[in-house]
Amino acid sequence: MAVIQYAPDVELIPTKSMRKIITLVEEEKIEQGILPIENSTEGAVTEVMDLLIKTKKSKIQREIILPVRHNLLSTGDDISKLKYILSHPQALEQTREYFIKNYPGIELIPTESTSRACEIVKQKGEEYAAIANEWAAKNNGLKILDKNIQDNFYNQTRFLIIGRNHEKPTGKDKTSIAFSFHNDFPGSLYMVLKEFAEREVNLTRIESRPAKSEMGKYIFYIDFIGHIEDNHVKEILENVEKITNRFKIFGSYPMGKIE
């Protein structure tokens, strides 16, 4: 649904995992890929964060914010026959109360993606169902057994479009970076945040993830208003790079609006 909203005429290439999407972009086998990065109910999609930090060619080119509309999809048309529900872990969490209330005996099974869940359901038969959007139902030839099963009606997901080219400034841009420190010391994170505060640059998101090296080591992810070609942003990033160990710019891109 997100990619259709962004570019309705592009050729769609489904993949079985988020890792595969990034790999195809990195290997120049596709021009762009789309990834969920955070949800208003469940927070960050940590798998994507951990994958993006390892990229070498991929740049964030755009963001799309969409309301989440989960549907129950199956080959059959009788909900009472369902025994297994498959979907991405985020989709399962966003519909958990629905199943606890209505179908507590059904087993929830995580998959790499909603697309993969639909593929499995097509193969397994009417005891299986997937949680996905209406487009997935049509694309996979599945029936919609129930619509809008998300627990939070105001649920939204932010998606990133990645490619290999930098985006030019539009005047309403956002930049995403990540960094870690040589050794943590009192005030280390403050020194970074101070660079933004002194230049009155608004941070729209800050997250941390384990560095996966040793206990207590973290990688910090920051989104902020501005473009890397803006002079004040250049100054900030130059100073941040000096006081950090690992430093990565994911890209600057037009700010998304809720569709």
**Domain boundary assignment for the chain:** 2-67+156-163, 71-146, 173-254
pLDDT of residue 200 exceeding 80, the answer is yes
- Tokens 């606890």 -> residue: 100
Q: CA 108 to CA 188: how far, in whole Å?
A: 42
- Architecture of the domain made up of 71-146: 3-Layer(aba) Sandwich (3.40)
**Residues forming beta bridges with residue 60, ordered by sequence position:** 162
Mean pLDDT confidence for 146-165: 93
2-67+156-163 against 173-254: fold identical: no
Task: Choose the catalytic residue: 157, 196, 220, 250.
Answer: 157
Which CATH class name applies to 173-254?
Answer: alpha beta
Task: Choose the catalytic residue: 95, 111, 114, 159.
Answer: 159
Please list, in sequence order, all residues whose beta carbon lies within 8 angstroms of the beta carbon of residue 219, skipping any fewer than 6 positions away: 53, 178, 179, 180, 208, 209, 210, 211, 246
CB contact burial 163-193 (16+ within 10 A = b; e otherwise): beeebeeeeebbbbbbbbbeeeeeeebeebe
Say whether 159 is catalytic: yes
pLDDT-derived band at 7, boundaries 50, 70, 90? low
The per-residue pLDDT for 40 is 87
Mean pLDDT of the chain: 91
The per-residue pLDDT for 60 is 98
Tokens of 104: 């507590």
24-58: per-residue pLDDT in tens?
999 999 999 999 999 888 889 999 999 999 999 99
Which CATH class name applies to 2-67+156-163?
Answer: alpha beta
pLDDT-derived band at 4, boundaries 50, 70, 90? low
Mean pLDDT confidence for 182-198: 89
Q: State pTM to two decimals.
A: 0.80
- Tokens 């109360």 -> residue: 97
Q: Give how far Cα 44 sits from Cα of 118, 158, 214, Å.
A: 23, 9, 22
Beta strands 128-132 and 84-87: pairing type?
A: parallel
Say whether 185 is catalytic: no
Answer with the residue of higher pLDDT: 113 or 224. Answer: 224
Answer with the residue of higher pLDDT: 18 or 222. Answer: 222
**Whose CA is closest to 59, among 209, 185, 165?**
165
**Whose CA is closest to 51, among 248, 195, 258?**
248
